[in-house]
């Protein structure tokens, strides 16, 4: 949640230091048989992280999309049950180079295509430029959204554009319901302990280390061991039993978003789309 960024900065300031990408604690990323996940397609927002993404029906000539969290929305966190569609926006995003050490340029939104914190925690921005134009100017291709549910045990990378840090771990489990303050999310991704994501990593893509496809979006963690409060999500089982896992971090699955992206990169909220509707 957004307060996590401020809390982390204050904690570091109190210690007399500055939290940077080099000091953020990320799990070591092991060598892969194919090219390792890097910062290609990663963006930084003013208060969160995000990524340049495309769906299975996206065309190079379509206006490009940026994915981040619903709670990163510049107009404020959507209330439970609220869905934002086609809201004008001029938000800007810093596009990182593949190393994460430099910025390639600035991307700009024209509108919020879709945003909600109900069942999931996602904002999708439509940009004023196409995938083809971005690739031609910056040499960067968008990350692909997977249409499949991620599986437990999958090796993942959580890539933060804000902190320019990559966290490596596995999907520990799928949580039936995750409750935080007034919001409830379905089928959340619980990470193994190696992904100790921090404030400012909200909105980072959760990337399958093998396919390099986006399977989720990082959104929260239990900071203080509290039960179901802001920045302290709790797990709710099918039978209603509540479990608190202090220090555990979570993301939201994105396969439903991928399945709802139609022609022209529109989020098509029809009967076959399982995303919440206005």
Q: What is the pLDDT of residues 233-263, one digit of tens each?
A: 999 999 999 999 999 999 999 999 999 999 9
Per-residue pLDDT band for 41 (boundaries 50, 70, 90) equals: very high
Q: Would 273 be classed as within a structural domain?
A: no
Q: Which pLDDT score is estimated for 12? A: 37
Q: For residues 156 and 249, state if they share a domain.
A: yes
Q: For residues 76 and 155, state if they share a domain.
A: no
CATH number reported for the structural domain that contains residue 130 in this entry: 2.40.10
Q: Which pLDDT score is estimated for 7? A: 43
CA–CA dist 220, 199 (Å, integer)? 9
Q: For residues 104 and 49, state if they share a domain.
A: yes
pLDDT tens sequence across 12-39: 333 333 223 433 446 545 444 568 999 9
Q: Which pLDDT score is estimated for 4? A: 44
Mean pLDDT confidence for 145-168 = 98
Q: Structural domain tally of the chain?
A: 2
Q: For residues 67 and 51, state if they share a domain.
A: yes
Q: For residues 236 and 175, state if they share a domain.
A: yes
Q: Would 276 be classed as within a structural domain?
A: no
CATH number reported for the structural domain that contains residue 7 in this entry: 2.40.10.10
Looking at per-residue confidence, does 162 or 23 come out higher? 162
Q: Which pLDDT score is estimated for 158? A: 98
Domain of 72 in residue numbering reads as 42-145+257-264
- Report phi then psi at 207, rounded to 5: -110, 130
Q: For residues 163 and 72, state if they share a domain.
A: no
Per-chain mean pLDDT for the chain: 91
Q: For residues 114 and 152, state if they share a domain.
A: no
Q: Which pLDDT score is estimated for 24? A: 41
Q: Which pLDDT score is estimated for 29? A: 52
First to last CA, the chain: 22
Q: For residues 102 and 172, state if they share a domain.
A: no
- Quick check: 105 pLDDT over 60? yes
Hey, how many other C-beta atoms are within 10 angstroms of the C-beta on 120?
A: 24
Cβ atoms of 181 and 90 within 8 Å: the answer is no
CA–CA dist 174, 7 (Å, integer)? 27
Indicate the Cα dihedral angle 6, 160, 116, 5, nearest 10°.
0
Q: Would 275 be classed as within a structural domain?
A: no
Judging by beta carbons within 10 Å of its beta carbon (0-12, 13-18, 19+), is residue 240 exposed, middle or buried? exposed
Cβ atoms of 103 and 96 within 8 Å: the answer is yes
Q: Which pLDDT score is estimated for 35? A: 85
> Of 20-24, 67-71, 129-133, 137-141, which gets the smallest average pLDDT?
20-24
**pTM value surpassing 0.85:** yes
Q: Would 68 be classed as within a structural domain?
A: yes
Beta carbons within 8 Å of 211's beta carbon, 6+ residues apart: 146
Q: For residues 150 and 200, state if they share a domain.
A: yes
Q: For residues 157 and 30, state if they share a domain.
A: yes
Q: For residues 30 and 168, state if they share a domain.
A: yes
pLDDT tens sequence across 223-238: 999 999 999 999 999 9
Q: Would 126 be classed as within a structural domain?
A: yes
């Amino acid at each position: 949640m957004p307060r996590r960024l401020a809390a982390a900065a204050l904690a570091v300031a109190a210690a007399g230091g500055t939290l940077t990408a080099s000091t953020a604690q990320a799990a070591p990323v092991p060598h892969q048989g194919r090219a390792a996940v890097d910062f290609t397609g990663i963006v930084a927002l003013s208060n969160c992280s995000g990524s340049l993404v495309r769906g299975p029906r996206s065309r190079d000539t379509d206006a490009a999309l940026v994915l981040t969290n619903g709670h990163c929305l510049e107009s404020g966190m959507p209330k439970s049950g609220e869905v934002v569609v086609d809201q004008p926006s001029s938000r800007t995003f810093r596009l990182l180079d593949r190393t994460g050490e430099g910025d390639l340029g600035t991307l700009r939104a024209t509108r919020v295509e879709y945003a909600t914190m109900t069942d999931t925690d996602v904002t999708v921005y439509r940009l004023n430029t196409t995938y083809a134009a971005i690739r031609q100017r910056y040499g960067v291709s968008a990350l692909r959204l997977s249409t499949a549910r991620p599986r437990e045990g999958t090796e993942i990378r959580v890539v933060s554009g804000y902190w320019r840090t990559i966290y490596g771990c596995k999907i520990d489990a799928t949580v039936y319901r995750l409750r935080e303050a007034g919001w409830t999310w379905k089928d959340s991704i619980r990470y193994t302990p190696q992904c100790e994501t921090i404030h400012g990593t909200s909105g980072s893509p959760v990337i399958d280390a093998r396919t390099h496809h986006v399977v989720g979006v990082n959104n929260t963690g239990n900071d203080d061991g509290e039960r179901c409060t802001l920045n302290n999500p709790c797990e709710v089982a099918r039978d209603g039993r509540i479990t608190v896992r202090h220090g555990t971090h979570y993301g939201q699955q994105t396969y439903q978003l991928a399945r709802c992206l139609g022609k022209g990169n529109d989020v098509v909220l029809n009967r076959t789309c399982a995303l919440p509707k206005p």
